[in-house]
């Protein structure tokens, strides 16, 4: 290992440790401050200030022994200053003794307010990351490759809407809970996808998977009988289990078929499968549980040839029954190649071409099936079309290499670049 890599690893560990500590404590601080100040927006500002201060000082001073107390002291100090005119809140804040123990309801209120359906999804995501996970605006911007001003504006606008439109700080009533929970889960799922799909060099984006897992774990503790929460947590763990095997030493994507399965984290996989069994006991299947079950089929297979494709196709059928979508049909047809053969699969893929004409995966899948059927020229054309349609650098690299290889050597079915389409399924539609 070169010295450079070692230093980067160290920086990586420090960054993740800081993020973990902040995440553990900032939500609690936010919950308490909303209760004390009676105002979500003020509380959120105070927490953000404290987090920014922590990220400035902890890297050099070290993480304090009581990080929560440290954050609280900074926030209180700032709060007393900010609430100068609001005596009532000021007095309450001054009297507040740390540590406090907010209830589970406090945390649910915080999450459900950030994920309120009256806010646009992008604002729900940014607000959840800031108020619940304790990310700074700058960190969110870096993770999503966006200008910081865009994220800051988004958050300002969302908070103004919360105040002006009367978005309440409360747990939804039982009859709205399932719709509201879907919003929160969609936010977590988006974090998973963003982190999961980002390339090896985007460390801060990949950390979003940590945030997703933490949020899902919180929700599961708070709502243990909601099987979709458990299903999503299982899905996240299954993806994490394979994270290390997904990139090679050059940072290029390694397709599922060619991943070194000895590098998969068996403990995480077992954990996820236990969660899935637990969820199944509620007898309320849902899209996250089904997606996790599909990934679990891959995780449980000792190698590619042992994959239970019949079961995977069945799970896709159930998923389509709950949520019909051309993207899910495309993924199902990818699996059908192994149960019904490339010709039948290709017919199914072609049937989707009107709806998914502009989606790279449709063309990449066609290319693969055409190649399997001995039609390299048409396959190459389809690959080129796919390349034209994706901007993801890892996918582009893979496609470009495939086009080059096949152009020069005809059949190189032994190439590790052979399979692109069966990567995994985090990117699947929900």
Partner 1 sequence: MRYVLLFVETEKFERELEAMSQADRDRAYQLVSNWVATHADKIRGGNKLRPAHTATTVHLDHGSEPLITDGPFVEGKEVVSGYTEIEVADLDEALRMVRTWPGCPIVEIRPLEA
- Kindly list the residues in this chain that would bind partner 1 in the complex (CB under 8 A): 116, 118, 164-168, 170, 172-173, 176
In 198-249, which residue ranges form alpha helices assigned H by DSSP?
Answer: 203-206, 208-222, 227-242
Q: Nearer to partner 1 by C-beta: 112 or 189?
A: 112
Q: What is the DSSP letter of 246?
A: G
Q: Nearer to partner 1 by C-beta: 164 or 303?
A: 164
CA atoms within 13 A on the CB side of 407: 11
User: Among 280, 318, 272, 278, which residue's Cα sits nearest to residue 297?
Assistant: 272
Structure tokens at 390: 């994706």
For the chain, the helix, strand and coil percentages under 3-state DSSP, each to the nearest 5: 75, 0, 25
> C-beta of 170: minimal distance to partner 1 in Å?
7
Q: What is the DSSP letter of 423?
A: S
Q: What is the DSSP letter of 351?
A: H
Residue 402: helix, strand or coil by DSSP?
helix
Cα→Cα distances 103→28, 41, 71, 295, Å: 9, 20, 19, 34
CA atoms within 13 A on the CB side of 420: 29
> C-beta of 108: minimal distance to partner 1 in Å?
14
Rounded distance, CA 413 to CA 222, Å?
A: 49
> C-beta of 156: minimal distance to partner 1 in Å?
18
> C-beta of 135: minimal distance to partner 1 in Å?
26
Q: Nearer to partner 1 by C-beta: 168 or 251?
A: 168
CB 420 within 8 A of CB 364: yes
Q: Nearer to partner 1 by C-beta: 168 or 407?
A: 168
Residue 133: helix, strand or coil by DSSP?
coil
Q: Nearer to partner 1 by C-beta: 134 or 172?
A: 172
Q: Nearer to partner 1 by C-beta: 65 or 173?
A: 173
Residue 247: helix, strand or coil by DSSP?
strand
**Cβ atoms < 10 Å from Cβ of 97:** 6
Q: Nearer to partner 1 by C-beta: 118 or 412?
A: 118
Residue 165: helix, strand or coil by DSSP?
coil
Q: Nearer to partner 1 by C-beta: 172 or 255?
A: 172
> C-beta of 168: minimal distance to partner 1 in Å?
4
> C-beta of 175: minimal distance to partner 1 in Å?
9
> How big is the CA angle at 238 (ends 423 and 262), to the nearest 5 degrees?
75
Across 165-248, where does the E strand assignment appear? none
Q: Nearer to partner 1 by C-beta: 172 or 231?
A: 172
> C-beta of 113: minimal distance to partner 1 in Å?
10
Q: Nearer to partner 1 by C-beta: 123 or 268?
A: 123
> C-beta of 180: minimal distance to partner 1 in Å?
9
> C-beta of 159: minimal distance to partner 1 in Å?
14
Rounded distance, CA 294 to CA 312, Å?
A: 6
> C-beta of 173: minimal distance to partner 1 in Å?
8
Cis peptide preceding 373, ω within 30 of 0: no
């Amino acid at each position: 290992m070169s010295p450079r890599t070692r230093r980067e690893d160290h920086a990586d560990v420090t960054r993740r440790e800081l993020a973990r500590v902040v995440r553990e404590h900032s939500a609690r601080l936010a919950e308490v401050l909303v209760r004390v100040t009676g105002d979500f927006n003020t509380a959120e500002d105070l927490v953000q200030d404290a987090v920014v201060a922590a990220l400035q000082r902890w890297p050099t001073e070290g993480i304090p022994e009581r990080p929560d107390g440290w954050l609280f002291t900074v926030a209180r100090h700032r709060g007393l200053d900010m609430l100068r005119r609001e005596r009532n809140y000021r007095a309450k804040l001054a009297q507040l003794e740390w540590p406090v123990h907010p209830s589970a309801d406090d945390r649910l209120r915080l999450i459900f307010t950030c994920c309120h359906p009256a806010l646009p999804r992008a604002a729900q995501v940014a607000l959840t990351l800031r108020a619940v996970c304790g990310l700074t605006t700058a960190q969110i911007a870096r993770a999503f490759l966006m200008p910081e001003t865009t994220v800051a504006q988004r958050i300002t606008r969302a908070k103004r809407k919360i105040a002006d439109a009367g978005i309440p700080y409360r747990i939804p009533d039982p009859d709205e809970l399932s719709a509201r929970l879907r919003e929160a889960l969609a936010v977590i799922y988006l974090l998973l996808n963003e982190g999961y799909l980002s390339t090896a060099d985007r460390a801060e984006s990949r950390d979003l998977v940590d945030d997703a897992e933490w949020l899902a774990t919180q929700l599961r503790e708070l709502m243990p009988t909601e099987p979709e929460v458990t299903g999503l947590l299982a899905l996240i763990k299954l993806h994490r289990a394979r994270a290390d095997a997904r990139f090679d030493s050059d940072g290029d994507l390694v397709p599922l078929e060619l991943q070194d399965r000895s590098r998969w984290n068996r403990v995480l996989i077992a954990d996820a499968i236990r969660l899935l069994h637990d969820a199944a006991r509620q007898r309320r299947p849902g899209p996250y549980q089904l997606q996790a079950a599909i990934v679990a089929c891959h995780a449980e297979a000792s190698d590619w040839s042992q994959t239970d494709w019949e079961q995977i196709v069945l799970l896709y059928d159930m998923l389509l029954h709950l949520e019909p979508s051309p993207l899910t049909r495309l993924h199902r047809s990818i699996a059908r190649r192994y149960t019904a053969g490339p010709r039948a699969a290709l017919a199914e893929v072609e049937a989707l071409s009107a709806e998914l004409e502009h989606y790279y995966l449709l063309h990449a899948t066609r290319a693969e099936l055409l190649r399997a059927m001995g039609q390299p020229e048409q396959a190459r054309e389809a690959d080129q079309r796919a390349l034209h349609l994706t901007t993801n650098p890892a996918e582009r690299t893979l496609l470009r290499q495939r086009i080059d290889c096949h152009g020069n050597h005809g059949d190189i079915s032994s190439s590790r670049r052979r399979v692109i389409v069966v990567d995994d399924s985090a990117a699947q539609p929900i």
